[in-house]
Amino acid sequence: MASKLVLLGTGGGPTPKAERSAAANAIVVGDATYIIDAGNGVARQMAFAGLAFNSIRAVGITHHHSDHNADAGTLLHLAWCSNLQGPVTTFGPAPWSEIWESFLEYSKTDVDIRKVDEGRPDFAAMVTAKDVVDPGVIFEDERVRITAAWVNHPPIPALAYRIDTEDRSYVISGDTTPCDSLIELARGADVLVHEVMHIPSIDPLLQRSNGQRLREHLINSHTSSTDVGHIATDAGVGTLVLSHFVPGSPAVDEDIWLADARKGFAGELVAGRDLMVI
């Protein structure tokens, strides 16, 4: 069964941007969709991409920064308001299950009204939420196998995911510095979607009272544009897709991203854009 990757959001950082939507990816296999990360606006991005809400089978969160999880609950709630019947499996690092329970409480008023007024099914019953504790296979059905690995994104626990389908394999790095665990997870994958940061251009982000602290976090928790190609080469992937661009605004010219990554990678190289299909 043919699969495809849809880049629903390629922006990095929590501030909403005109140029890019927040981090979100869809792996589509036949009539089933598997979401990895669900930043702000992901439901509307699915609509723009023409992906049916009732196709969602699983939602995985790489880590609990708001640009990756802000709309995880909202996506499923709005999909349920449309035509989602479930079941849907959701997963992420702890305390994902607690976060999900808090969203159920938040959405309870609307859900209860629609169950009576519109005859909709039980929202809570159709979604399973689990905390990923150990790396390895964390979800499997007849279309995909999803494997998780811990990556380095201090100070919080963070995961990368590999999605193996019948015809292709996809790896979503989430946020991470270069690390061996990601290279092993991505070994021989067809497509690696990797975060990227252009260090010479981050100074505009630092014009604030906590600028030095933010700079330390960015350097210690992310991957530079000149390092990302080497990661893809070490993993032996076929295609490297740059995403989660930092800074996203003001935008760095696409040629700069590609030239930096090309220094370490000779394979197919793509500068991701929102709604791009790979």
For residue 251, pLDDT beyond 60: yes
Region for residue 161 given its phi and psi (left: phi exceeds 0; alpha: psi -120 to 50; beta: otherwise): beta
- Give the residue carrying structure tokens 């809400």: 53
Contact of 193 with 161, CB cutoff 8 Å: no
263: CB partners within 8 A, 6+ apart: 226, 229
For residue 68, pLDDT beyond 60: yes
In this prediction the pTM is 0.96
Q: In what order do the strands lie in the sheet with 127-132?
A: 127-132, 88-93, 56-60, 32-38, 24-29, 3-9, 276-277
Count the neighbouring beta carbons within 10 Å of the beta carbon of residue 175. 26
pLDDT tens digit sequence for 88-128:
999 999 999 999 999 999 999 999 999 999 999 999 999 99
pLDDT at 221: 84
pLDDT tens digit sequence for 223-241:
999 999 999 999 999 999 9
- Among candidate residues 16, 20, 18, the one with its CA nearest the CA of residue 276: 20
pLDDT at 204: 72
pLDDT at 225: 95
Name residue 90's beta-bridge partners.
Answer: 59, 129
pLDDT tens digit sequence for 135-171:
999 999 999 999 999 999 999 999 999 999 999 999 9
Cα 85 from Cα 56, distance rounded (Å): 9
Element (H, E) at 125: helix 123-126
pLDDT at 241: 98
Mean pLDDT of 41-55: 98
For residue 209, pLDDT beyond 60: no
pLDDT at 208: 60
pLDDT at 69: 98
86: CB partners within 8 A, 6+ apart: 121, 125, 126, 127
Q: What is the DSSP secondary-structure string of 23-84?
A: SEEEEEETTEEEEEEE-TTHHHHHHHHT--GGGEEEEE-S--SHHHHTTHHHHHHHHHHHT-
Cα 124 from Cα 263, distance rounded (Å): 48
pLDDT at 205: 67
Cα 267 from Cα 250, distance rounded (Å): 28
What are the φ/ψ torsions at residue 237 (nearest 5 degrees)?
Answer: -85, 160
- Give the residue carrying structure tokens 């609990």: 64
- Omega within 30 of 0 (cis) for the link into 178: no
